[in-house]
C-alpha cells in the first residue's frame, strides 16, 4: 500500500519567524486520521527565518532527528552540548528522562529542515545528543543510513528506536531500490524534485506513506534529495 499525501493538504502554521508544515498532527494542527505512521509521530517541514529560532524548551522520551536541507541550525542543551549542523547534515537527540534545548538559525539566510520525531523504545534512559556531517556527494545515486538503532553496522548516528533514517540524492532519470519488510512502515519525502515511487507519483515535499511492500523503487523525475524513515 502506498498513499501519497499532497503537500498542499498538510497542516500549516506561519508564525512569521517560522513557517511550518506538519505531515502529522502537531501543535494547533489536529487531524485524528494523521496521528503518525508506524513509530513516526512528527514530521515537520520547517523554514526558520535568519537570526531566529526556538527558545529553550523541554522534551522527554522521544527520538528527535533534524535533517538540514539548507542553511544551518545551532543547538544548545541542558547537558552542555552545543553544535552547528549545516545543509545535508544531521543531528539526533534522544530526550530520554528529560532534556531542555534551544535551536537557532544564526545564519544570514533562512534555514530549511525536516524535524522528525520517532517514538522511543527505551523510556527513561539518560538523554543524549549527537551531530555528524554526511556529505551529499557520498549518497549520490544510493541510500545512506544517517540514523539507526544499529549504528555500528549502519555507520550512522544512534537512536533508541527500532527505526532507520535514510537519505539519497538522485539526478533526473536515476532509479534506486530498497528492500522492505512488508510488516513495517516507511515514510518518504522528496525535497525538491518530483518522483515515482513504485507506481505512484509524488511532487516535491509530498508525503509518501508505505506499508505492506517488499520493495521500493524510486525514480527521480527531476534532480532531488530523498529522505526516508523505516520503522516498526
Instruction: Please give the pLDDT value at position 151.
Output: 86
Instruction: Sort 177 into a burial class: Cβ within 10 Å, 0-12 / 13-18 / 19+.
Output: exposed
Instruction: Please give the pLDDT value at position 84.
Output: 98
Pick the closest to residue 186 from 198, 175, 203 (CA basis).
Answer: 198
Instruction: Please give the pLDDT value at position 39.
Output: 98
pLDDT in tens, 120-135: 999 999 999 999 999 9
Residue pair 217/21 in contact by the 8 Å Cβ criterion: no
Instruction: Please give the pLDDT value at position 195.
Output: 98
Grid cell, residue 64, equals 528527535
φ, ψ (nearest 5 deg) of residue 210? -130, 135
Strand partners, 92: 65, 130
Angle, vertex CA 119, rays to CA 117 and CA 125, nearest 5:
105
The domain that holds 52 is classified in CATH as: 2.60.120.10
Pick the closest to residue 69 from 226, 202, 230, 174 (CA basis).
Answer: 226
Sign of the C-alpha dihedral computed for residues 135, 52, 55 and 207 taken in this order: negative
Instruction: Please give the pLDDT value at position 194.
Output: 98
Instruction: Please give the pLDDT value at position 152.
Output: 87
Grid cell, residue 217, equals 523503487
Residue pair 94/157 in contact by the 8 Å Cβ criterion: no
By residue range, what is the domain housing residue 74?
2-231
Query: In sequence order, what are the residues at sequence separation of 6 or more whose Cβ sits closer than 8 angstroms to the Cβ of residue 82?
Result: 74, 75, 76
Which segments of the chain have a pLDDT < 50? none
Pick the closest to residue 172 from 226, 222, 129 (CA basis).
Answer: 222
Instruction: Please give the pLDDT value at position 59.
Output: 98
58/56 Cα distance (integer angstroms): 7
Locus of grid cell 538523554 = 127
Instruction: Please give the pLDDT value at position 187.
Output: 98
How many domains is the chain partitioned into structurally?
1
Amino acid at each position: 500500500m502506498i498513499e501519497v499525501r499532497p503537500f498542499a493538504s498538510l497542516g500549516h502554521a506561519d508564525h512569521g519567524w517560522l513557517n511550518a508544515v506538519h505531515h502529522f498532527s502537531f501543535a494547533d494542527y489536529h487531524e485524528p486520521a494523521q496521528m503518525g505512521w508506524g513509530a513516526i509521530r512528527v514530521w515537520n517541514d520547517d523554514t526558520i527565518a535568519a537570526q531566529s529560532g526556538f527558545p529553550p524548551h523541554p522534551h522527554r522520551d522521544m527520538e528527535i532527528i533534524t535533517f538540514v536541507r539548507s542553511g544551518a541550525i545551532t543547538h544548545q542543551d541542558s547537558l552542555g552540548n552545543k553544535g552547528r549542523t549545516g545543509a545535508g547534515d544531521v543531528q539526533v537527540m534522544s530526550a530520554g528522562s528529560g532534556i531542555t534545548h534551544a535551536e537557532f538559525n544564526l545564519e544570514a539566510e533562512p534555514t530549511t529542515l525536516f524535524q522528525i520525531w520517532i517514538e522511543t523504545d527505551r523510556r527513561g534512559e539518560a538523554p543524549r545528543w549527537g551531530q555528524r556531517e554526511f556529505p551529499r556527494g557520498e549518497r549520490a545515486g544510493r541510500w545512506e543510513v544517517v540514523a539507526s538503532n544499529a549504528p555500528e553496522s549502519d555507520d550512522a548516528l544512534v537512536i533508541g528506536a527500532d527505526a532507520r533514517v535514510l537519505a539519497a540524492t538522485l539526478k533526473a532519470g536515476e532509479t534506486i531500490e530498497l528492500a522492505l519488510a512488508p510488516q513495517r512502515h516507511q515514510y518518504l519525502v522528496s525535497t525538491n524534485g518530483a518522483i515515482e515511487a513504485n507506481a505512484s507519483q509524488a511532487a516535491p515535499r509530498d508525503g509518501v506513506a508505505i506499508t505492506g511492500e517488499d520493495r521500493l523503487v524510486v525514480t527521480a523525475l527531476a534532480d532531488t534529495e530523498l529522505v526516508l524513515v523505516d520503522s516498526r
